[in-house]
């Protein structure tokens, strides 16, 4: 053992702390049994980084060389002793708390390089995970006497973003835990669920116990009589109330792994663990830090997937849907200029899907197909009540969150002093338009009630002369326009002028941009490469050209869809493709769709490729993707 330790000591002197350790002591004698190895590492009481790494390298080499040797009861006891030693030295320390917050930040400029001390610690943790995985090939995790401790330790390395996790430790931890979960599921025993319950009850719950939430009871249900809180809770500034954030920094990652284990077939187990799951999620969402809020929203979404697919009604029974809504809704207000655009995108990108998932789980999606409804009048009434409540909640998201947020971050209504709409946060505006498309598809025909709010917003975006500077914004606006046309088609004819104006103006701007790119490309051909500015090369990249081509296809598809809808409006169409419109004098007049489109092409011939393009079934994927 002394020679082996000496070799390990020499290896550590030149080991690269940024790479995974690979110690192969060729020609040296290894311990004959696990009891010899166990005694050697446990008899050393030193906790110094150097000696711990030496012991881990010795253990790694010995376990990898075990092969198919006979496994005795003495070896089993020694293996359990080794597991106990490994879990004591393998959990990330509180010193990672300072860099954990920024590790999940959307702003890469805030990411801090690890100090030498943290790199040393990460090296030791990566080595410890490797040893645990090697030991699990000899004594499987499910046979370990401290299986909960071992699972918690491995689960601490299941997030690549954590500063203590390396690529190797992440991969090895996932492989070992995946094999353990698969084995437990195949054995069809309750061991997996008892292990998860013990983790939630003894490892997660105590860490979040001091972070109180008056909206829920101790049993995880909605508190119908919450005590009014103070205007500012000073305890939120006390690190002692949030050990999960400042001391046991790994627990959120363990919690995330535990929730990812549930499947739709595990609804019974999820519901039994629900009181242990809800408080930590709400604590994360209510945290003042954007990165932890984001993790809380992502965890809620993860939790609701098996519940929704398993058709669980636990949100209705516990009345917790309103609690989740109240927790997430303030997150939607994290907008510039108070919140930086990167952080706003990070949080809203998790909050909107989580909120929509809450509503879909609380009010299971009810289709209009009569065959999907129950013949029972009681169930039919419940069906309609759920649908009404769902539409009401979705409408709140549209009016109070999406439209208001879009107006807040942009000047999308031209004024006398500023005739051009402006979008100072184009990425965030693009995201909100994407959410608008999703919400319109959820509202379906109910979108018609809000066309007066939606159409001007889309028009100002599509007609912006500087829109091609950020093509994803125009793509999102075109997709949203298509969604509005599809869902509000019975009333869209009243807004055909604004929609056509937006599509045609955007089309002309795209043609102008393509012309400018072609001219710059032609000039660059006759100039030396050194004289071409980097900005010009970037602007005229193949990506920009392909994005413009995609935008043109989407505009064509949107215009074609609008024409089809206008011609086939159910209660107003006739055989000639005309319908009646009441003018400002109260008189009715025939509207000829083909004629109106033709007048636009007469005014500008370049619109012909937009408004009178031949569409075949094979073109649908290109035009509407």
**Residue 19 pLDDT:** 73
**Residue 570 pLDDT:** 44
Contacts of 192 (CB under 8 A, 6+ apart): 181, 184, 185, 261
Rounded Cα distance between 181 and 265, Å, is 14
Q: Give alpha helix (H) positions in 463-592.
A: 471-487, 496-525, 534-539, 542-567
Contacts of 179 (CB under 8 A, 6+ apart): 136, 141
Residue 365 banded pLDDT, cuts 50, 70, 90: low
**Residue 415 pLDDT:** 53
Rounded Cα distance between 348 and 328, Å, is 10
Residue 420, token pair as written in the block: 């051009």
| Mean pLDDT, the chain, integer | 85
Angle, vertex CA 334, rays to CA 211 and CA 336, nearest 5: 145
Residue 366 banded pLDDT, cuts 50, 70, 90: low
Q: What percent of the chain has pLDDT over 90?
A: 60
Contacts of 327 (CB under 8 A, 6+ apart): 215, 282, 285, 286
Q: What single-letter DSSP state applies at residue 93?
A: P
- How far lies 107's CA from each of 298, 342, 345, in Å? 18, 6, 10
**Residue 257 pLDDT:** 97
Question: Are the CB atoms for 514 and 471 separated by under 8 Å?
Answer: no
Residue 96 DSSP SS3: helix
Q: What percent of the chain has pLDDT over 70?
A: 83
Chain Cα centroid distance, residue 225:
33
Contacts of 289 (CB under 8 A, 6+ apart): 101
Q: pLDDT tens digit string along 221-257?
A: 677 766 665 555 656 667 788 999 999 999 999 999 9
CB atoms under 10 Å from CB of 571, counted, come to 6
Rounded Cα distance between 49 and 54, Å, is 9
Phi, psi of 591 (to 5 degrees): -115, 120
Q: pLDDT tens digit string along 291-312?
A: 999 999 999 999 999 999 999 9
Rounded Cα distance between 538 and 334, Å, is 32
Among 83-92, 346-355, 532-541, the minimum mean pLDDT is found in: 532-541
Place of tokens 């602007």: 539
Q: pLDDT tens digit string along 310-343?
A: 999 999 988 899 999 999 999 999 999 899 999 9
CB atoms under 10 Å from CB of 44, counted, come to 14
* Model pTM score: 0.89
Phi, psi of 144 (to 5 degrees): -70, 145
Place of tokens 């995201």: 431
- Adjacent-strand bridge partners of 592: 578
For CA atoms 249, 104, 278, 173, the dihedral sign is negative
- How far lies 606's CA from each of 386, 505, 576, in Å? 49, 11, 27
Q: What single-letter DSSP state applies at residue 578?
A: E
Q: What single-letter DSSP state applies at residue 445?
A: G
Rounded Cα distance between 215 and 282, Å, is 9
């Amino acid at each position: 053992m002394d020679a082996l330790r000496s070799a390990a000591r020499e290896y550590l002197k030149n080991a690269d702390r940024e790479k995974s350790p690979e110690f192969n002591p060729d020609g040296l004698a290894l311990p004959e049994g696990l009891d010899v190895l166990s005694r050697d590492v446990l008899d050393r009481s030193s906790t110094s980084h150097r000696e711990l790494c030496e012991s881990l390298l010795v253990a790694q080499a010995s376990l990898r060389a075990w092969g198919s040797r006979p496994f005795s009861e003495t070896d089993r006891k020694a293996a359990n002793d080794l597991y106990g030693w490994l879990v004591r030295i393998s959990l990330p320390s509180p010193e990672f708390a300072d860099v954990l917050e920024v590790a999940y930040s959307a702003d890469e400029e805030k990411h801090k390089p690890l100090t030498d001390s943290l790199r040393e610690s990460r090296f030791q943790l990566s080595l410890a995970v490797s040893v645990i995985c090697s030991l699990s090939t000899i004594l499987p995790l499910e046979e370990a006497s401290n299986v909960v401790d071992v699972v918690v330790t491995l689960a601490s390395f299941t997030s690549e973003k954590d500063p203590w996790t390396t690529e190797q430790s992440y991969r090895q931890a996932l492989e070992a835990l995946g094999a353990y979960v698969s084995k437990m599921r195949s054995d069809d025993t309750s061991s997996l669920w008892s292990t998860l319950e013990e983790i939630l009850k003894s490892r997660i719950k105590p860490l979040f116990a001091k972070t109180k939430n008056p909206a829920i009871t101790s049993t995880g249900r909605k508190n119908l009589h919450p005590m009014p809180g103070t205007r500012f809770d000073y305890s939120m500034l006390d690190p002692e109330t949030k050990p999960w954030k400042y001391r046991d920094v790994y627990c959120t990652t363990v919690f995330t792994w535990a929730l990812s284990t549930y499947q739709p077939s595990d609804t019974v187990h999820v519901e039994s663990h629900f009181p242990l799951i809800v408080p930590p999620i709400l604590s994360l969402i209510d945290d003042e830090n954007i990165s932890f809020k984001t993790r809380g929203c992502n965890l809620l979404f993860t939790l609701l997937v098996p519940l929704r697919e398993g058709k669980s009604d636990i949100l209705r029974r516990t009345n917790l849907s309103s609690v989740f809504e109240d927790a997430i809704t303030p997150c939607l207000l994290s907008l510039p200029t108070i919140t930086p655009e990167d952080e706003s995108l990070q949080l809203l990108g998790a909050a909107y899907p989580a909120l929509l998932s809450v509503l879909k789980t609380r009010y299971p999606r009810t289709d209009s197909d009569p065959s999907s409804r129950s013949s029972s009048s009681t169930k039919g009434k419940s069906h309609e009540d759920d649908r009404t409540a769902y539409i009401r909640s979705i409408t709140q998201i549209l009016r109070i969150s999406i439209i208001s947020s879009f107006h807040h971050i942009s000047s999308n209504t031209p004024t006398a002093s500023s005739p051009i709409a402006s979008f100072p946060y184009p990425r965030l505006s693009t995201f909100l338009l994407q959410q608008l498309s999703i919400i319109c598809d959820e509202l379906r025909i109910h979108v018609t009630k809000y066309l007066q709010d939606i159409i001007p917003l889309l028009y100002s975006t599509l007609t912006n002369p500087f829109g091609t500077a950020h093509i994803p914004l125009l793509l999102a606006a075109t997709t949203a326009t298509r969604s509005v046309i599809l869902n509000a088609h019975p009333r869209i004819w009243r807004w055909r002028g604004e929609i056509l104006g937006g599509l045609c103006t955007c089309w002309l701007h795209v043609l102008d941009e393509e012309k400018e790119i072609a001219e710059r490309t032609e000039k660059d051909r006759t100039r030396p490469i050194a004289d071409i500015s980097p900005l010009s090369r970037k602007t005229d990249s193949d990506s920009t050209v392909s994005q413009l081509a995609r935008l043109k296809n989407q505009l064509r598809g949107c215009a074609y869809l609008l024409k089809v809808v206008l011609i086939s409006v159910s209660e107003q169409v006739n055989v000639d493709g005309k319908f009646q419109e009441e003018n400002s004098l109260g008189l009715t007049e025939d509207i000829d769709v083909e004629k109106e489109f033709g007048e636009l092409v007469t005014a500008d011939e370049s619109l012909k490729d937009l408004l009178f393009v031949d569409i075949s079934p094979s073109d649908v994927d290109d035009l509407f993707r």
